[in-house]
Amino acid sequence: MTPKLKIPPPATGALPPDAQGARRPKTTRATLLDMKKHGEKIAMVTAYDFPFARLADQAGADVLLVGDSLGMVVLGFDNTLPVTLAHMLHHTQAVTRARPQAMVVADMPFMTYQVSPEEALRNAGRLVQEAGAEAVKLEGGAAIAPMVAAIARAGIPVMGHLGLTPQSVHQLGGYRVQGRGADAAARLQSDARALKDAGCFAIVLEAVPAALAREVTAVLEVPTIGIGAGKFCDGQVLVLHDLLGLFAEFVPRFVKQYADLGAAARTALQAYVTDVRSGRFPGDEHTYS
Ligand code: KIV
């Protein structure tokens, strides 16, 4: 039997240190607005479970996104469409159990917010009440402004998501760059304005030309968080499994891989299997007398 790992909870009132070892306060909507105002870049990363939420928080990430990308990188679906509210509740609960200083944003999965503002609000409320999310993220532009407004009016911070919106993959005809050409660029700009006016406190821009992301970032009062949207956004987000080298099925051009944990894990597992087969494990030091 695998021994149970004992991870001591932080002492009451104690803050986990960031990468520099300094203690930092809880990130809120106001913190992110302030960071934009002062030109400080926002670092957001996805997290889907307790151990990686802890690690990303200790590394100093400002925002942990429980993305519906979990459908692909954790649950093995072909896209994000099969992800349900039950999946999101389960994984958001695991992330918030890490009690991060980073803000926890939960994605609202496909068909949990498109039908009506009432349904959107009820489902957003469940992510906050049952899973401890501190904000929710919705994909889409002006068409979902009534849903954003209903959720924001109830006191739940809402993050928008424009450009390549993976829940619309069939309508978009694949995972392609969005906002190219004058009409598409103008549409994205007016969608960003509509989301801000409806109450979004930040907007993810995915797979859009850097020049367009720069323009949107310059005129918008709330932070933009880019993924494949160039360096002029107020912040950046990457999928955890992409940046750690844990998801090899499909690596978009915009991903920077900071580690190859997939290879490291495979090597470690091979060594374990070899040790078991050869009788090298367990040794005396792993054995009770
Ligand atoms: O689901 C997700 O991980 C996301 C990010 C790619 C922004 O929406």
User: Whose CA is closest to 113, among 146, 161, 79?
Assistant: 146
Pick the residue whose CA is nearest to atom 5 on ligand 1. 67
Convert the pLDDT of each residue in 212-263 to its tens digit: 999 999 999 999 999 999 999 999 999 999 999 999 888 899 999 999 999 9
User: How does residue 281 score in pLDDT terms, banded at 50, 70 and 90?
Assistant: very high
Q: Is the pLDDT of residue 55 over 50?
A: yes
pLDDT at 211: 98
Convert the pLDDT of each residue in 261-274 to its tens digit: 999 999 999 999 99
Residue 19 CB partners (closer than 8 Å, separation 6+): 58, 59, 60
Domain residues of the chain, as ranges?
Answer: 22-258, 261-289
pTM value?
0.92
Specify the CATH superfamily of domain 22-258: Phosphoenolpyruvate-binding domains (3.20.20.60)
- Ligand 1 midpoint to CA 69 (Å): 6
Atom of ligand 1 nearest to the CA of 204: 7
Task: Indicate left, alpha or beta for 229 from its phi (over 0: left) and psi (-120 to 50: alpha).
Answer: alpha
Percent of the chain with pLDDT over 90: 90
Instruction: Tell me the two tokens of residue 61.
Output: 């990430």
Residues labelled catalytic: 206
User: Whose CA is closest to 56, among 47, 69, 48?
Assistant: 47
69 pocket-lining for ligand 1 (C-beta < 6 Å):
yes
Residue 114, number of CB atoms within 10 A of its CB: 16
pLDDT at 18: 53
Convert the pLDDT of each residue in 147-191 to its tens digit: 999 999 999 999 999 999 999 999 999 999 999 999 999 999 999
pLDDT at 250: 83
Instruction: Tell me the two tokens of residue 173.
Output: 């005809």
pLDDT at 249: 85
Convert the pLDDT of each residue in 24-33 to its tens digit: 899 999 999 9
- Ligand 1 midpoint to CA 30 (Å): 22
Convert the pLDDT of each residue in 124-136 to its tens digit: 999 999 999 999 9
Q: Pocket of ligand 1, candidates 236, 239, 254: which has the most ligand atoms within 8 Å of its Cβ, to mutate?
A: 239
Looking at residue 276, its amino acid is: V
